[in-house]
Chains A and B, each alone.
Chain A
Amino acid sequence: MPGTNDTSALIHASSLSYTYRGSFTPAIEQISLSLTEGTLYGLIGPNGAGKTTLISLLTTLLRPDQGTLTVCGENALSHFTSIRQVLGAVPQELAIYERLTGRENLLYFGRLYGLHDELVKEKSRYYLDMFGLADKADCRVSTYSGGMKRRINLIIGLLHDPKILFLDEPTAGVDAQSRHLIIEKLRMLNTNGMTMVYASHYLEEIEQLCTSVVLIDHGRIVAQGSPLQLGQADGCTGLADFYLHKTGEKLRD
C-alpha cells in the first residue's frame, strides 16, 4: 500500500525528493510508497503535479536528490542495471523508430533487454497478435496510425515480461477502439500477475482498470486508496469529483 514501509513490496520508495536544475520548487517532495505485486496502480494528478517525474524516479531514469528506492529488495540506486531488467516502461512520447518496421523495432529493443533473437521473435508474434498489429508488423512505423504507434510503443515495454510495468498516459490521443483494446489487454496482463503503474488523465480508465489509486499534486501524495474509496470520500460523487475536490478547479499550466 502506498506510504507504508512494506519490506516485502516489489518497489519501496522512501522520502523521495527531486528538484530539476534551475527550479526552486521540488518536482517531487518526500514521497514514500510501496507497490505490492500483482496490483494495478493508478497515478493521477493535474499537469505538472509530478506524475512523470515520479515514474522517472521509480524507473531509475532520474536519481533522487534524497530518499531511498528498493526494487525486488535491491537498492535500485546502486544496482540499476540489474533492476532495469525487471522494469518495463512505456513513456508518454512515442519512443520508437519511425523508419523501422514494427517488427524491427521490437527486435532491436528486445535484443537490448538481452533476449536472444528466437525469444524476441516469439514474444513479438505473441504481443503483435494480442494488440492487433500482426498484419502490419512488417510495415514501417511511419505508415502507422496514432493508435497503432501507441500499441507498438506499449509492446516494447512488455517484451521482456517485466515484473512491473510503468505506463505514462499510454492511451493519449488514440481512438476509442484502440483505447478499449489497450485497456482490455492491460487488464488481462494484470490478471496474469503483472504489476502496473498507470498514469493517466482519463479518470474513467483509472476507475475501470486500477485497484489502487495515488493522487499527487505539487510533488506530494494528496490521497491514496481504491477508486471506490476515493470516489466516496469527503462526500464526493465519484473519482472525478474527488479529484477536483482535492486539486481544485483552477487551471494548471
Chain B
Amino acid sequence: MKLYASIIKEMLLLLRDRAGMVLLFIMPAFLVIVITLIQDKVTTTNVEVLFIDDDKGMVGRRIHTLLADTEIVHLVKYVDGEQLSADDARDLVDKGKYQFALVLPKGLSSGVAKAIEQSVRSRLFPEENHSLAEKIPEILLWFDPTVSGSFRSAVSSVLYRAVHGLQAELLMENTFTLLPDLIFKDVPEVMRSYLPQETLNGTDLLPQLFENKGIIPVMEQFTTEMGFINQPTAVQQNVPAWTIFGIFFISVPLAGSFIQERQNGTLKRLKVFPVSYWTIMAGKLSAYGAVCLVQTGVILAAGIFILPLLGLEPFSLGNAFLHAAALLFSVTIAACGYGILLGTIGRTYEQIAVFAPVSIVIAAAIGGIMVPVYAMPELIRPLCAFSPLYWGQSGFYDILLRQSDWPAILPEIAALLSFGFLSGLGAYFSSRFKN
C-alpha cells in the first residue's frame, strides 16, 4: 500500500508538470521526426536542379534522360507551373531559392554532332582536308556560392558523367557509321558487292552496347572499425538515438523532484513517517520507470508509424525485440541512477535545471546521438566511450547493423546497469555525508 501510494503520488506530480511532460514526450518525438527527415535529406543528396533546355535537340534529350536516371539530382523544368527561361533560372539561383541551374544552350546538338563527326572523320581519314571545328556553345552550370564544395562536386560529377557518357556514345556511333567507308576505301570496286556492307555498319548495336553500363563491377561497402557493413539509415540512426536521449532526460524531473522535496521539507517530513526510505525510493523509480516505458513507446511509435507517412522507411527492430527491450531497460536504470545522483548532490532546483540538461546534451553530442560517431572527427571519437548514451546507441548498432546476438550487447547492458548502480551508490554516500 505504501509503495502504491508513492507510485501514484509520483505519477500525479509528473503528469501535472507540463514542462516536464513536454521535455519527456514532445521533445524527443519531435526531434526523432525532424532530425531523421533532415539527415535523410542530407544523406540521400537528392538535389533539385533547374533544367533549361534551349537546345531542344538530341543532346538535351539525352542529357536529361541520363541525369534523370541518377538518384542524386531531381530536374526541375517548371516553377509555379511556368516553364523557366535561362534568365529566370539565374534569378532563382541568385536569390538562393534554388542551389543549381543547368542550361543547355541553343545549337548545342548541332554543334556537338558536327564536332564529333569531324573528330572521328579526322582520325579515320587523316589524309582528307579537314576544316577547323566550330566552337560548341557551352553547357552552363550555375550554383549558389553558399553550397559546400563536396555538394557541388557531387552535382557536377553527375553532369560530367552524363556528358562523358554521351560523348562516348556519339563517338562510337560516328565511328560505326564511318567505319564501312574506311574499310571499303581500299577494297577494289569489283569486290565490294561481295562484302556484307550492312553488317559492317554496327550502329544498330549501340543501344545494346550502352544498355549494360556496369560491366566492370564496383562494390561500395561501408567499412569502419565499428564493424558494420551497411551505413545506418537516418531512421536506424535516429530512432534509437533520440529514444535513448529522451529516456536520459527523465533524470531532469527526477532530480528536480528530490530537490523540491528536500527544499519544501516533505522529504524531512517523510523521515518521521513509519515508512522506509527504500519504499519512497522504489515508488519514485517505479513511477519514473513507467513514464520511461510510455515515452519509449511514443518515440518508437513515431518511428514506426509517422516516419513512413513522411516518405521514410519505417523503423524496425526485426527479431531483436527482446534485445532492444533489455537495452532500453538498462538505459532507464542508468538514467534513473543519474537523476538520483543529481538530485542528491544538487543544492537548488535552478542548479539542476541548468546542469542536468546541459550534461545530457554534451553526453549526447560526444556519444553519437546527434552526429553518428563514425562521422565525427578522429580527435573527438574516443570520447564516446565515456558517454552512457553511446553505450546504449552502440547496443542498437549491434542489433540493427551487425545483426549481433546477446553476447555482443551484454557489455553495453553491463556498462549501463553499472553506471546506474554506481550513481545510486554515489547518491547514497552523498546523502549520508550531508545528513
Chain A interface (Cβ < 8 Å from any Cβ of B): 59-61, 81-82, 84-85, 87, 89, 91-100, 104, 107-109, 111-114, 116, 140, 156
Contact = CB atoms under 8 A, between A and B. Distances in A.
A116 B2 CA distance: 10
29 contacts: A81-B274, A82-B274, A84-B274, A91-B265, A93-B265, A94-B265, A95-B265, A95-B266, A95-B269, A96-B264, A97-B9, A98-B264, A99-B12, A99-B13, A100-B12, A100-B13, A100-B16, A104-B9, A104-B12, A107-B5, A108-B8, A112-B6, A112-B273, A112-B274, A112-B275, A114-B1, A114-B274, A140-B16, A156-B269
Contacts, number: 70
Contacts of A95: 264-266, 268-269
B4 interface: yes
- Which of A81, A95, A104, A112 has the most chain B CB atoms inside 10 A of its CB? A112
A156 B268 CA distance: 14
A127 to B, nearest CB: 17
Contacts of A92: 265
A90 to B, nearest CB: 9
Given A84-B274, A113-B273, A116-B1, A99 B16 contact: yes
B266 to A, nearest CB: 5
B254 to A, nearest CB: 15
Interface string B1-28: 1101110110011001100000000000
Interface of B: 1-2, 4-6, 8-9, 12-13, 16-17, 264-266, 268-276
B256 to A, nearest CB: 12
Contacts of B4: 111
A92 B268 CA distance: 11
Nearest to A63: B435
A111 B6 CA distance: 9
A91 B272 CA distance: 10
A89 B17 contact: no
Contacts of A99: 12-13, 16-17
B271 A112 contact: no
A91 B269 contact: yes
* 5 interchain residue pairs of minimum CB distance: A93-B265, A111-B5, A95-B265, A95-B269, A84-B274
B429 to A, nearest CB: 15
A206 B300 CA distance: 62
Given A108-B9, A114-B2, A84 B268 contact: no
B274 A85 contact: yes
- Which of B2, B5, B272 has the most chain A CB atoms inside 10 A of its CB? B272
A104 B252 CA distance: 24
A233 to B, nearest CB: 34
A59 B272 contact: yes
A205 B430 CA distance: 41
A109 B12 CA distance: 14
B272 A111 contact: no
A231 B246 CA distance: 64
- Which of A60, A99, A116 has the most chain B CB atoms inside 10 A of its CB? A99
Nearest to B434: A21
Nearest to B273: A112
Nearest to B17: A99
B267 to A, nearest CB: 8
B273 to A, nearest CB: 5
Contacts of A93: 264-265, 268
Contact of A97 (B5, B13, B276): B13
B266 A97 contact: yes
Given A95-B266, A108-B5, A108-B6, 13 more contacts: A60-B272, A84-B272, A91-B265, A94-B264, A97-B266, A98-B264, A99-B12, A104-B9, A107-B5, A112-B274, A112-B275, A113-B274, A140-B16
A107 B12 CA distance: 12
B264 A111 contact: no
A111 B273 CA distance: 11
Nearest to B16: A99
Contacts of B1: 111, 114, 116
Nearest to B13: A99
Contacts of B273: 84, 109, 112-113
A140 B273 CA distance: 23
Contacts of B5: 107-108, 111-112
A109 B272 CA distance: 11
A84 B271 CA distance: 9
A87 B274 CA distance: 9
A111 B4 CA distance: 9
A40 B167 CA distance: 107
Contact of A100 (B9, B272, B276): B9
- Which of A97, A98, A109, A116 has the most chain B CB atoms inside 10 A of its CB? A97
B330 to A, nearest CB: 30
A112 B283 CA distance: 12
